Amino acid sequence: MRRRPSSSTAAARRPDAVSKAVSRFAAGWAQDALLVLAGVLAFFVVAGRFELFERLQAATRGLEHWQLDELPLTLLALSLGLLWFGWRRVVDARQALAARTVAEQQAQALLTENRELAQALIRVQDTERRALARELHDEFGQHCTAIRADARYIARATDVPAVAEGACRIDESAERLHGLVREMLDRLRPPDLDSLGLEAAVQALCERWEVQTGIGCAFVPRPGSPALPDDVAVTVYRLVQEALTNVARHAEASHVQIVFEPLPSAEGLRLRITDDGCGLAPDRHPAGAGGGHGLAGMRERVAGYGGTLKLDNVEGGGLRIEADLPLENLPA
């Protein structure tokens, strides 16, 4: 379906950029040296033509008691000194550049490692959640059903009204518990994702949310988009969930739009969620720092894929969240 280059491919591209910078530096250095040589040659021709050295000698001879006749040789010594000084700076600059290159490569390697760890963490979390959801569904759900069946049996079989009432209350409590577990299951693992796929699951979420909140919600899917890997689909679903929760809680919006589109410059997905509410308060802008954990969690999830999360207040009111999820850095 799609190629997943290893992180080392991306790392291999970086030294390319570094070697380009080094060769640009070397080319500039050679150009400057040529200019200096041309200048010296031109000076030599002019000096020869106008006998500059002889004129200087003649001019300084009269000032011998000030030792100014030593000036030409002193200037030559100064030029040699400056040449040595310049050469030392070039060597220093090369060493600094090499050290910087190594540091940059180390920083990039650490960033890659960090991103892979974040991805692994998200995958482990989702696997755990799925396992927990399975356990809850199979164990808890079945026991609730059994309790309800027993309670109904007791209610039917007993002649004692107080016992029948008690059994009915047990039945109702077990039903409520079962409902609670079902809600928890939905939160642990969006059920629509498995059965419907991401786009239909987001559409269903959008419709449910619209009914619950009374805020209009429109979803624009990517035309003919290939299915995303499971963990990416869960991430996108969670991003939409948190953004919609925030709109309902903070935005005072009347409408929200969710758009999936391809990334302009790389393989991946851009998720854009725009509401027409009050937008982020200035002290929250642009990172949404402080306060809750929702935006921070969204940022972490996106960063796990080497992506970016942008929050912008839109003109005329409202907040636009743009999450870019490149799919090239996924581990094989």
Interface with ligand ATP (CB under 6 A): 246-247, 249-251, 275, 277-281, 284, 288, 291-296, 319
**Residue 231 beta carbon to ligand ATP: minimum distance, rounded to whole angstroms:** 21
Q: Judging by DSSP bridges, how do beta strands 216-220 and 255-262 pair with one another?
A: parallel
Q: Judging by DSSP bridges, how do beta strands 319-326 and 255-262 pair with one another?
A: unpaired
Count of residues interacting with Mg ion (CB under 5 A): 3
* Partner whose footprint covers residue 277, from Mg ion, ligand ATP, none (CB < 5 to 8 Å by kind): ligand ATP
Asked if 294 is part of the footprint of Mg ion (rule: CB under 5 A), the reply reads yes
Please name which of 205, 197, 259, 265 lies closest in space to residue 232, comparing C-alpha atoms. 197
Residues in the chain: 332
**Residue 303 beta carbon to ligand ATP: minimum distance, rounded to whole angstroms:** 15
Distances (CA, A) of 154 to 141, 143, 160, 162: 20, 16, 10, 11
Q: Which stretch binds Mg ion (CB under 5 A): 32-40, 74-82, 266-274, 289-297?
A: 289-297
Q: Which stretch binds Mg ion (CB under 5 A): 20-28, 176-184, 229-237, 242-250?
A: 242-250
Beta bridge partners of 130: none
Whose Cβ is closer to ligand ATP: residue 56's or residue 278's?
Answer: 278
* Partner whose footprint covers residue 269, from ligand ATP, Mg ion, none (CB < 5 to 8 Å by kind): none
* Partner whose footprint covers residue 319, from ligand ATP, Mg ion, none (CB < 5 to 8 Å by kind): ligand ATP
**Residue 131 beta carbon to ligand ATP: minimum distance, rounded to whole angstroms:** 25
Q: Which stretch binds Mg ion (CB under 5 A): 98-106, 216-224, 245-253, 256-264?
A: 245-253
- Give the C-alpha separation, 324 to 264, whole Å: 10
96: which 2 tokens? Answer: 């600094």
Whose Cβ is closer to ligand ATP: residue 13's or residue 249's?
Answer: 249
Q: Is the Cα torsion angle 54, 60, 61, 62 positive or negative in sign?
A: positive
- Give the C-alpha separation, 186 to 180, whole Å: 10
Beta bridge partners of 258: 219, 273
**Residue 276 beta carbon to ligand ATP: minimum distance, rounded to whole angstroms:** 10
**Residue 294 beta carbon to Mg ion: minimum distance, rounded to whole angstroms:** 3
Asked if 246 is part of the footprint of Mg ion (rule: CB under 5 A), the reply reads yes
Asked if 241 is part of the footprint of Mg ion (rule: CB under 5 A), the reply reads no
265: which 2 tokens? Answer: 């410059």
Answer whether the bond into residue 286 is a cis peptide, omega within 30°: yes
The DSSP 8-state label assigned to residue 222 in this structure reads P
* Partner whose footprint covers residue 291, from ligand ATP, Mg ion, none (CB < 5 to 8 Å by kind): ligand ATP
Whose Cβ is closer to Mg ion: residue 166's or residue 294's?
Answer: 294
Please name which of 184, 219, 195, 224 lies closest in space to residue 205, comparing C-alpha atoms. 219
How many Cα neighbours within 13 Å face the side chain of 198?
Answer: 23
Whose Cβ is closer to Mg ion: residue 167's or residue 202's?
Answer: 202
Residues that bind Mg ion in the complex, under the rule CB under 5 A: 246, 292, 294
